[in-house]
Chain A
Amino acid sequence: MTRYVIGRLGQLVLVLIGVSVIVFFTMHVLPGDVATLLLGERATAEQLASLRHQLGLDQTVLVQYADFALEAARGDLGTSLRSNHTALSDVWLAFPVTLQLALSALLLATLIGVPIGVVAGTRAGGMLDNALMTLTLFGVSMPIFWLGLMLLLLFGAVLGWLPIGGLMPVGLDAPRVTGMTVIDSLIAGRADLIAASLRHLVLPAVTLATIPLAMIARVTRSEMLATATLDHVRTARAKGMTERRVILRHILRNALIPIVTVIGLQLGLLLSGAVLTETIFSLPGLGRLMVDSILSRDYPVVQAGALFIALVFVLVNLLVDLSYGLLDPRIRRS
């Protein structure tokens, strides 16, 4: 097992090097000159040349990449051209917002998606199965940026039940500890803060959960169906085991690996896919930071954000693979 983990970590390093190459070279074919961008159109040729020298832009691209990779390995991904903070600190500041959103969406998607899949799988071909699967098809076909707007319109504007965007009401903030408003509110121990942070989280989390919920439900259903035909299930039934026990202990347990895979993959996708949800609900998360940085050509932040998200994405995938051992004793023993 240890050898396997070390091998996977080695692969992870190779993938990250590949990701850094793609991100770096993509950013360096950006249209426009960074020096002109920083100093403005009125800068003299000498000023531009001096800044290019200072930033290392007068070196060959390969030398620039080597510098970038060495600095990145030390945790220095440059300074934001907009905020003047280090790029990594901007990313780090925005990340908890995205993490909170992605985790709450994944929690919703799993808590609702798995039971839907189990119910549909155990009534395959019936009316309830058809109705649930039609709903999940609607879910995977839903443009979430539209769904978010419609939910805002209905629950925010028409019914007035929930706030229209933002992390917290203006003037009400929990002291920052983790950067995740719900956790920070819990740490502060104030009921008004907890209620406010949860109320602000409901619509974005529901919006972002829609597609993963549908995917998880569909995979759960199909895996339940595939596992239900196996011999050990028939034996369990023949032994007179209750249907509930057969479903939970023998079918669902054995169908868990593909379900956990999908759940894990969804977390990685949610972390990057949150960009649209963050835009609609005006949340200052990582996705929104990336888009704003792209539009203003703040390439150090784009690089830092991309590397950071890719790192999280591959780490989550690694954790998902490692979790197989916990779920299946056969994998653990091998």
Chain B
Amino acid sequence: MSTAEGQAAVPVRKPGDLRRVLRRVSAKVGLLITLVFLLLTVAAPLMAPYDPYDQDLSSALSEPSAEHWMGADQYGRDMFSRVLYGTRTALLAVVVADGLALVLGCAAGLVAGFFGGRTDAVIMRLVDVVLAFPYLLLALIIVAALGPGLTNSMIAIGIVYTPQYARLIRGQVLAIRHADFVRAARALGASRLRIMLRHVLPNSITPILVMATLQAGSVVVETAGLSFLGLGAQPPSPDWGALLADGQSYFLTAWWIATFPGLAIFLVVLGFNLLGDAFRDHFDPRRAS
């Protein structure tokens, strides 16, 4: 689903284009899910009926009811409140991991594409080596080095996704580095750093945003996956992956503990994928045609 290396630079489109993207039903559904997700991260403390950490052993493993909409876990903690607070960890993962990959990848891609030659060769060979690892394996190795925990799992996922941004940006830079406006800036005496940050980067914003949206769903799944394996967020944190891991032990007797956090992950990822697909189809000239 990622954009191939070295593809033609994607033209910058007018803001009015966004409205055209959102004309599609799938894009509207994706946007709606994403907005609800963002709203819940903000409103979680107002909407949660219980403190997500509050234990009430008298309610332990109670089924979904009017009192506990999504039931209660083995310590009697309200699952609805915990799933609601889980939106915050998921959003944090998107911001930190996707953000880290974006910053590192853009920096590497800009430098490689702009300087070319040996710099480019070294950076891109490094990217090739990182890409020789399957994603999850590399994330596991990095978490092994840094130690289990939510922050470290987000850093690991950020590093794992860095090469994709690096390849994308390098392709963009190669495509526009000889464009007239870049030559003009160079002729006017602009420094390389200024050209990269003021001219090349802004012209690559669209594909970066498309990729960031498409990656967001994967980041949510992989962060939850690491937590599920015990390498990400640690108990009693209301992280969706950790909640699922809890639910695994009780899934024969208390199906609700694993069901609702998984459903939440699925919906959020679906929202990001719908939105990302719509953006990609609209801004990728090959698909648009």
Q: Which residues of B contact A140 (CB under 8 A)?
A: 1, 273
Looking at the complex, which one of B1, B132, B133, B244 makes contact with A149 (CB distance below 8 Å)?
B244
Q: How many residues of A contact B (CB 8 A)?
A: 48
B224 touches A275 (CB 8 A): no
A27 to B144, CA, bound (A): 7
- Contact across chains for B134 and A273 when beta carbons are under 8 A apart: yes
Q: A313 to B228, alpha carbons, bound, how many Å?
A: 24
Among B91-99, B187-195, B202-210, B255-263, the stretch in contact with A: B255-263
Judge whether A15 and B135 touch: CB under 8 Å.
no
Chain A residues 1 to 32 lying within 8 A of chain B, measured CB to CB, are 14-15, 18-19, 22-23, 26-27, 29-31
C-beta contact mask, A114-143 vs B, less than 8 Å → 1, else 0?
000000000000000000000001101111
- Tell me what chain B mostly uses at the interface: helix, strand, loop, or mixed: helix
| Most chain A CB atoms below 10 A, which of B128, B241, B261, B262 | B262
Partner of B269, one of A31, A143, A306: A143
Q: Is A45 an interface residue (CB 8 A)?
A: no
Interface-located stretch among A87-95, A174-182, A198-206, A289-297 = A289-297
Contact A143-B252, Cβ < 8 Å, known A15-B129, A291-B231, A302-B141: no
Q: Return B276 CB to nearest CB of chain A, in Å.
A: 11
Query: Quick check: B262 and A275 within 8 Å, CB to CB?
Result: no
Q: Which residue in chain B gives the minimum CB-CB distance to A303?
A: B141
CB neighbors of A among B221-251 (8 A): 221, 224-225, 228-231, 241, 244, 247-248, 251
Tell me if A280 counts as interface (CB < 8 A to partner B).
yes
Contact A141 B132 (CB under 8 A): no
Point out the residue from B1, B128, B141, B224 that lies within 8 Å of A15, measured CB to CB.
Answer: B128
Q: Digit string of A139-155 for contact with B (CB within 8 Å is 1, else 0)?
A: 01111011101101100
B46 interface residue (CB < 8 Å to A): no
Is B60's beta carbon under 8 Å from chain A? no
State which of A51-59, A247-255, A264-272, A319-327 sits at the interface with chain B.
A264-272
In which size bucket is the chain B interface? 35 or more
User: What residue of chain A has the Cβ atom nearest to residue B145's Cβ?
Assistant: A26
Contact yes or no, A273 B231, CB < 8 A? no
Query: Is A137 in contact with B270, judged by CB distance below 8 angstroms?
Result: yes
Output the nearest chain B residue to A288 by Cβ-Cβ distance: B229
Contact of A150 with B228 at beta-carbon distance under 8 Å, contacts A140-B273, A294-B140 already known: no
* A141-B248 CB under 8 A given contacts A29-B145, A146-B258, A273-B134: no
- Residue contact A149 to B248, C-beta cutoff 8 Å: yes
Asked whether B274 lies within 8 Å of A137 as measured between CB atoms, the reply is: yes
Pick from B134, B147, B231, B241: contact of A272, CB below 8 A. B134
A26 touches B142 (CB 8 A): yes
Q: Is A310 interfacial (CB-CB < 8 Å)?
A: yes
A309 interface residue per 8 A CB criterion: yes
A157 within 8 A of partner (CB): yes
Q: Which residues of A contact B255 (CB under 8 A)?
A: 153
CB neighbours of A18 from chain B (8 A): 125-126, 128-129, 132
Cβ proximity bits B261-285 to A, threshold 8 Å, 1 near / 0 not:
1110110011001100100000000
Give the distance to chain B from A40, nearest Cβ to Cβ, in Å.
Answer: 20
Question: Could you tell me the distance in whole angstroms from the C-beta of B93 to the nearest C-beta in chain A?
Answer: 13
**Chain B residues numbered 99-136 whose CB sits less than 8 Å from any CB in chain A:** 125-126, 128-130, 132-136
Residue-wise interface mask of A (194-218) relative to B, using a CB-CB cutoff of 8 A (1 in contact, 0 not): 0000000000000000000001000
Q: Which residue in B141, B231, B270, B273 is a CB contact (below 8 Å) of A306?
A: B141
Residues in A with CB closer than 8 Å to B288 are: none
CB atoms of A19 and B132 under 8 A apart:
yes
Q: B144 is contacted by which of A26, A146, A273 (Cβ under 8 Å)?
A: A26
Report if A104 contacts B (CB, 8 A): no
Give me 30 A-to-B residue pairs in the complex whose CB atoms sit less than 8 angstroms apart, sorted by A's number.
A18-B128, A18-B129, A19-B133, A22-B129, A22-B133, A23-B141, A27-B145, A137-B274, A138-B266, A142-B266, A143-B221, A143-B244, A145-B241, A145-B244, A146-B261, A149-B247, A150-B258, A150-B259, A268-B134, A271-B134, A272-B136, A273-B135, A275-B136, A275-B229, A276-B136, A294-B141, A295-B230, A306-B141, A309-B134, A309-B137
Chain B residues in the interface with A (C-beta under 8 A): 1, 125-126, 128-130, 132-137, 140-148, 217, 221, 224-225, 228-231, 241, 244, 247-248, 251-252, 255, 258-259, 261-263, 265-266, 269-270, 273-274, 277
